[in-house]
C-alpha cells in the first residue's frame, strides 16, 4: 500500500531557522539551501515574507530569495501570510509561495493575529495575485493533532480548513502537527477525516517531533496514501508561537525510513547527513537526527 516514491519538502531553512534567537548570516542560509539542493532535495522552503517584528530571523528574506544559486529542477518557496508578503516575494523572484492557516482559533490569533475565517479571507487576494503571476500556492494547516492553547482539535475542523484552502486554489495542503503531540492512530483518523473532503494526492504531512512520535506518525499516514512529507535537516527548528515545540522530523531520519521501505526519494543520504552535521556545527545546535548522528560517528 506504500507509494513508490515520496516527495520531500525541506523546511529547514525556514521552519528550522525561524526560531533561532541569534542572527544567522544570509551567507550561511544560502549555503544551507545550496547544500540541500546538492543532496537531491527538489523542494526547499527558503524564506518567510512575514513581519520582521514577529520573526526577526527571517528579516533577510529578500536577500535570501535573490541570492539563491537556483539549481534546475529545484523549487525554492517562501511563506507569504498576506499580499504585502506576496508582493515582496514576487519582487524576489519567487516561483512558489505558501499561505498558513490553523485548525485552532487561539493559535491563529497568536500566530497571525486574526481569526481562522479572517485568515482565509486574507488568503483569497493572495491566491488571486499569485495566479496572475503564475506562482503556485501551497497551504498549511497548523495544530492538526493538537493545539498548545486549546488541547484537542476536532478532525472535522482540520478537514474544514483544509478543504477551504484546497477550494481556494492551493495545489497542496500540508497538515501540521505543530506541537508534535500526535500519535499514529490519531494521525490516521485525522487524515481519514480530511481525505473525505479532498483528494489524498493533494495532502502532505508536516510533523514536528516534540514527543518523538513523528516517524511513527509518518509510517501511519504513508499507509493511508500520503506521498509528500515535510522535514527539516538535522531536525532543526520549533515554532515561536508554540512553546516547547521542538523541530520538524529530521530529513535524514525520514529518508532512511523511506529507503528502508523501498520508497524512492532521489536524495543522497550521505550528502544530506553531511549537511546536517555542517549546519548544526555552524549554528551551535545539537544534531537532532539520529541517523545523522550515527552516520557522522562512523
Residues acting as catalytic residues? 239
Query: Which residues, numbered 143-202, are part of the site for ligand HMG (CB under 6 A)?
Result: 176, 178
| Of 195, 198, 242, 191, residue with least CA distance to 217 | 191
| Helix runs in 133-241, H state only | 155-168, 184-195, 214-224
Nearer to ligand HMG, 18 or 193 (CB): 18
Residue nearest to ligand HMG (CB): 176
Q: Which stretch binds ligand HMG (CB under 6 A): 74-82, 145-153, 192-200, 212-220?
A: 74-82
Name the burial class of residue 254, with classes exposed (0-12), middle (13-18) and buried (19+) by CB atoms within 10 angstroms of its CB: buried
Among 5, 66, 113, 282, binds ligand HMG (CB under 6 A): 113
Write down the least CB distance from residue 184 to ligand HMG, Å. 18
Q: Where in the chain does DSSP place strands (E)?
A: 7-10, 43-48, 75-79, 96-102, 136-142, 172-177, 203-207, 228-231
| Cα 269 to Cα 226: distance, rounded to the nearest angstrom | 21
Is 54 a binding residue for ligand HMG by CB under 6 A? The answer is: yes
Cβ(284)–Cβ(247) below 8 Å: no
Among 16, 49, 249, 254, binds ligand HMG (CB under 6 A): 49
| Cα 159 to Cα 9: distance, rounded to the nearest angstrom | 22
Q: Which stretch binds ligand HMG (CB under 6 A): 23-31, 46-54, 193-201, 265-273?
A: 46-54
Write down the least CB distance from residue 260 to ligand HMG, Å. 25
Among 12, 16, 40, 85, binds ligand HMG (CB under 6 A): 85
The C-alpha cell that represents 234 in the structure block: 538535522
Nearer to ligand HMG, 138 or 277 (CB): 138
Tell me the pairing of strands 172-177 and 43-48.
Answer: unpaired
Nearer to ligand HMG, 32 or 55 (CB): 55
Query: 250 has which bridge partners?
Result: 232
Among 8, 9, 13, 15, binds Mg ion (CB under 5 A): 15
Site residues for Mg ion per CB under 5 A: 15
Site residues for ligand HMG per CB under 6 A: 15, 18, 48-51, 54-55, 79, 81-82, 84-85, 100, 111-113, 140, 142, 176, 178, 206, 208, 239
Amino acid at each position: 500500500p506504500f507509494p513508490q516514491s515520496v516527495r520531500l519538502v525541506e523546511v529547514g531553512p525556514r521552519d528550522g531557522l525561524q526560531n533561532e534567537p541569534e542572527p544567522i548570516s544570509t551567507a550561511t542560509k544560502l549555503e544551507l539551501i545550496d547544500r540541500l539542493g546538492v543532496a537531491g532535495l527538489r523542494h526547499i522552503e527558503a524564506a518567510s515574507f512575514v513581519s520582521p517584528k514577529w520573526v526577526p530571523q527571517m528579516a533577510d528574506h529578500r536577500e535570501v530569495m535573490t541570492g539563491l544559486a537556483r539549481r534546475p529542477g529545484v523549487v525554492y518557496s517562501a511563506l507569504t501570510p498576506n499580499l504585502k508578503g506576496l508582493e515582496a516575494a514576487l519582487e524576489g523572484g519567487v516561483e512558489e509561495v505558501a499561505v498558513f492557516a490553523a485548525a485552532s482559533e487561539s493559535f491563529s490569533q497568536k500566530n497571525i493575529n486574526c481569526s481562522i475565517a479572517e485568515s482565509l479571507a486574507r488568503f483569497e487576494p493572495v491566491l488571486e495575485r499569485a495566479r496572475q503571476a503564475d506562482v503556485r500556492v501551497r497551504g498549511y494547516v497548523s495544530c492538526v493533532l493538537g493545539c498548545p492553547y486549546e488541547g484537542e482539535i476536532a478532525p472535522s475542523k482540520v478537514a474544514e480548513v483544509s478543504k477551504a484552502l484546497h477550494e481556494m486554489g492551493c495545489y497542496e495542503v500540508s497538515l501540521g502537527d505543530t506541537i508534535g503531540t500526535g500519535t499514529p492512530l490519531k494521525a490516521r483518523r485525522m487524515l481519514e477525516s480530511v481525505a473525505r473532503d479532498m483528494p489524498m494526492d493533494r495532502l502532505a504531512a508536516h510533523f514536528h517531533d516534540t514527543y518523538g512520535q513523528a516517524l511513527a506518525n509518518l509510517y501511519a499516514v504513508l499507509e493511508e496514501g500520503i506521498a509528500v512529507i515535510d522535514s527539516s535537516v538535522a531536525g532543526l527548528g520549533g515554532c515561536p508561537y508554540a512553546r516547547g515545540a521542538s523541530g520538524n522530523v529530521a530529513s535524514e531520519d525520514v529518508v532512511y525510513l523511506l529507503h528502508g521501505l523501498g520508497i524512492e526519494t532521489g536524495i543522497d543520504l550521505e550528502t544530506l547527513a553531511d549537511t546536517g552535521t555542517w549546519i548544526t556545527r555552524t549554528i551551535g545546535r545539537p544534531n537532532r537526527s539520529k541517523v545523522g548522528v550515527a552516520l557522522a560517528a562512523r
